[in-house]
């Protein structure tokens, strides 16, 4: 059969309008950040690369144990966001800001307390640039909290909740690298998804906000292969290699359930090395007639 795949392991995408606003804001901020760093006698080129939604686990695993990271907080949001820098880039920037420029791209090493302190100055430049580039009357208040000792093992983000990653390339005289701003969706919603004032003309705004929240909610889709009833004796006699016959006929579609309720009917299949499920119909739209459900007892065949 022909299967049209849908990768449910991917996190929900950013809303196009929110992504556009975020990119425009960070692009303006990068212009101011370039000027701020130039004030220390350092010539850099800063370019926003991408903003996207991702799962924390795989994203954080890509960073080195010696990556340099700082937690920053937005007012009224308990969870922090994180500025993360590759270790060599942090060395280059901190060295240049201290008046001791590095002549070649360095190897990873632990930063000195002085270098970490200069890193906090760099964070202040970033947060100031973000505030000054905000276009509305009330800019966000983003403040430094503390250093993140180990980015790969941070407890700042929940593994089951996607977060937003903004990647920016900084080019220096000795090389370039990407630094990232990682933030929970709550952080982004506070920036761009705040409820509008009471003078909104209709309920469209509220409906859009509810739709936005619904898009970011996670739900588990479970495909039920079938069931069987066994006696206690049959259960005790099961061994590796036994075949248990289920009450699911091969001519009948499988049931896909959301929150314990049957939502779709479809057929099993395969995509590459992964099992798959092709949706054939919407179970909620099927006509149902009352009846009795028969139970089938099956034995284990050795």
Residues 218 and 255 sit within 8 Å (Cβ to Cβ): no
Contacts of 172 (CB under 8 A, 6+ apart): 42, 43, 44, 89, 92, 93, 96
The answer to whether 145 and 80 have CB atoms below 8 angstroms apart is yes
Tell me if 179 sits within 8 A of 166, measured CB to CB.
no
Q: In what order do the strands lie in the sheet with 221-224?
A: 221-224, 254-258, 261-271, 274-282
For position 263, what pLDDT does the model report?
86
Q: What is the tens place of the pLDDT at every residue in 260-288?
A: 788 888 888 877 777 888 888 888 775 44
Tokens of 293: 């459900």
pLDDT in tens, 13-59: 888 988 999 999 999 999 999 999 999 889 999 999 999 999 999 99
**Residue spans in the chain of domains classed CATH 2.30.330.10:** 221-301
> Could you give the CA distance from residue 254 to residue 264 in angstroms, rounded to a whole number?
8
pLDDT (tens digit, 9 = 90+) per residue, 189-234? 888 864 433 333 334 445 555 555 566 556 678 887 888 888 888 8
| Alpha helices for the chain (secondary structure H) | 16-38, 56-61, 87-97, 113-132, 185-192, 204-216, 232-236
Tokens 């144990």: give the residue: 65
**Rounded to 5°, angle at Cα 290 from 284 and 291:** 120
Name the segment(s) of the chain with CATH classification 3.40.1550.10: 16-215
Q: Of 98, 252, 122, 235, which is closest to residue 179 (Cα–Cα)? A: 122
Helix/strand/coil percent split, the chain, to 5: 30, 30, 40
Q: What percent of the chain stands above pLDDT 70?
A: 82
The CA distance from 22 to 210, in Å, is: 20
DSSP-derived letter for residue 11 is P
| pTM > 0.95: yes or no | no
Q: How far apart are CA 43 and CA 179, in angstroms?
A: 17
Residue 255 has pLDDT above 70, yes or no: yes
Q: Could you report the per-residue pLDDT of 100-157, keeping only the tens digit for each?
A: 999 999 999 999 999 999 999 999 999 999 999 998 878 888 999 999 999 999 999 9
Residue partners of 186: CB distance under 8 A and separation at least 6: 77, 79
Q: What is the pLDDT of residue 52?
A: 93
CATH class, domain 221-301, is mainly beta
- Classify residue 21 as exposed, middle or buried by CB count within 10 Å of its CB (0-12, 13-18, 19+): middle
Per CATH, the architecture of 16-215 is what? 3-Layer(aba) Sandwich (3.40)
């Amino acid at each position: 059969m022909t299967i049209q795949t849908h990768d449910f392991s991917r996190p929900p995408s950013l809303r196009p309008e929110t992504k556009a606003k975020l990119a425009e804001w960070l692009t303006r901020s990068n212009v101011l950040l370039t000027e701020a760093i130039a004030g220390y006698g350092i010539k850099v080129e800063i370019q926003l690369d991408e903003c996207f939604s991702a799962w924390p686990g795989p994203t954080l695993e890509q960073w080195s144990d010696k990556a340099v990271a700082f937690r920053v907080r937005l007012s009224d949001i308990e969870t922090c966001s994180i500025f993360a820098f590759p270790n060599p880039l942090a060395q280059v920037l901190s060295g240049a800001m201290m008046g001791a420029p590095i002549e070649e791209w360095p190897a990873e090493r632990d930063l000195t307390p002085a270098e970490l302190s200069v890193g906090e100055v760099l964070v202040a430049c970033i947060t100031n640039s973000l505030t000054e580039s905000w276009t509305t009357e009330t800019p966000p208040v983003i403040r430094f909290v503390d250093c993140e000792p180990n980015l790969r093992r941070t407890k700042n983000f929940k593994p089951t909740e996607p977060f937003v990653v903004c990647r920016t390339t900084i080019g220096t005289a000795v090389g370039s690298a990407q630094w990232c701003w990682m933030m929970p969706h709550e952080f982004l919603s506070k920036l761009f998804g705040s409820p509008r004032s009471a003078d909104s003309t209709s309920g469209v705004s509220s409906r859009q906000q509810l739709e936005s929240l619904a898009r970011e909610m996670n739900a588990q889709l479970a495909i039920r292969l079938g069931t069987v009833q066994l006696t206690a004796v049959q259960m005790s006699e099961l061994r590796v290699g036994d075949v248990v016959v289920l009450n699911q006929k091969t001519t009948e579609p499988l049931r896909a359930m959301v929150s314990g309720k049957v939502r779709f009917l479809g057929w099993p299949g395969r995509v590459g090395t992964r099992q798959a499920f092709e949706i054939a119909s919407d179970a909620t739209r099927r006509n149902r007639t009352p009846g009795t459900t028969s139970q089938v007892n099956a034995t284990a065949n050795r």
